Amino acid sequence: MHKVLIIGEHDGKSLNPATAKCVTCAKSIPDADITIALLGADTAAVAAQAAALAHVKSVVRVDRPENAHPLAATFAPQIVALAADYSHLLGPSTSFGKDLMPRVAAMLAVPQVSDLMAVEGAHRFRRPIYAGNAIVTVDADPARKLVATVRVASFEAAASGGSAAVESKSTSATLPAHTRYIGAKSGSTDRPDLQTAARVVSGGRALASAENFKILFSFADKIGAAVGASRAAVDAGYAPNEMQVGQTGKIIAPEMYIAVGISGAIQHLTGIKDARTIVAINKDAEAPIFEVADVGLVGDLFQIMPELERLVAK
């Protein structure tokens, strides 16, 4: 039996869908015994959600005031203290997981395996390299604990229907004093979260200004989509950094991805290649984005987008 500990991501109220995708990855490990660990100030609500996921045997709550905010420096020593009984430690390859799991690996003195996209055995996995242009098979040392991040775009979320046991635990881990929570700022919006949205509309440098991104916002609101941007658009100041999609931004796998005025650089394609349907709108018929698109529209986005919005509104 392989005991797998998944570090759950949540906001104190809702379990991030990335955690359910980690469960799908974990259940592919032979003879996996899956536990989800939740750190927070009061994780009762999210623990109930985690316990309802299929294939999860138990949920561990670590509640203390210091865990009110997800600080990697605070969480890591507590996770190391919990890790003693587990052979595998998994976290999502999100901003949360990418910040936390390397610290855990360092404290356990083991190498981390990043961006698991397929499980071939208890210690054999596949992961992308070179911006997704190559896939490598990695054999981890079975004599050491495995610390890994899961490429959530490669897995479906685990279904509900489970009834895992929930227990509270405390650790004797010494928490660092050099890191403390000051505050967090993020853009408020009623649109779906970019990393979990079923539909995403993204704009590129061809939009030419931040003002013109309102065209995408209006269309996205009509179809209930999140809005993203290419790195070129973000670098140009047309969109904030948190909207960036691609190798150096968010890697997503929506049901539908609509790329508006995006040429399709390999770094961008890395972030969207797992989307179920890709729609490309670009005036350049030779743009690389059309090589991966399921549906392509060649034309001026400033004419096409208003027309699409009009048709959707009908």
Average pLDDT over residues 142-153: 95
| pLDDT of 166 over the 60 cut | yes
Residue pointed to by tokens 């549906």: 295
Work out the mean pLDDT of the chain and round it to a whole number.
94
Domain boundaries, the chain: 2-168, 199-313
Dihedrals phi, psi of 184, to nearest 5 degrees: -140, 140
List the beta bridge partners of residue 201.
227, 258
Containing 233, the helix (H) or strand (E) segment is helix 231-235
What is the mean pLDDT of the segment spanning 181-209? 85
- For residue 269, the number of C-alpha atoms closer than 13 Å in the C-beta half-sphere is 16
Query: Which of 72-81, 130-139, 217-226, 300-309 is least confident?
Result: 130-139
The candidate with the shortest Cα–Cα distance to 92, out of 251, 225, 226, 234, is 251
- For residue range 49-61, what is the model confidence (pLDDT) as tens digits? 999 999 999 999 9
What does the pLDDT look like over 224-274, one tens digit per residue? 999 999 999 999 999 999 999 998 888 899 999 999 999 999 889 989 988
Indicate the CATH number for domain 199-313: 3.40.50.1220
**In this predicted structure, what is the pLDDT of residue 196?**
84
Q: Where residue 314 falls among pLDDT bands split at 50, 70, 90?
A: confident
Judged by average pLDDT, the poorest of 23-37, 172-186, 200-214, 289-303 is 172-186
- What pLDDT does residue 35 have? 98
| DSSP code, position 301 | H
Asked if the 2-168 domain carries CATH number 1.10.10.10, the reply is no
**Does 2-168 match 199-313 in CATH topology?**
yes
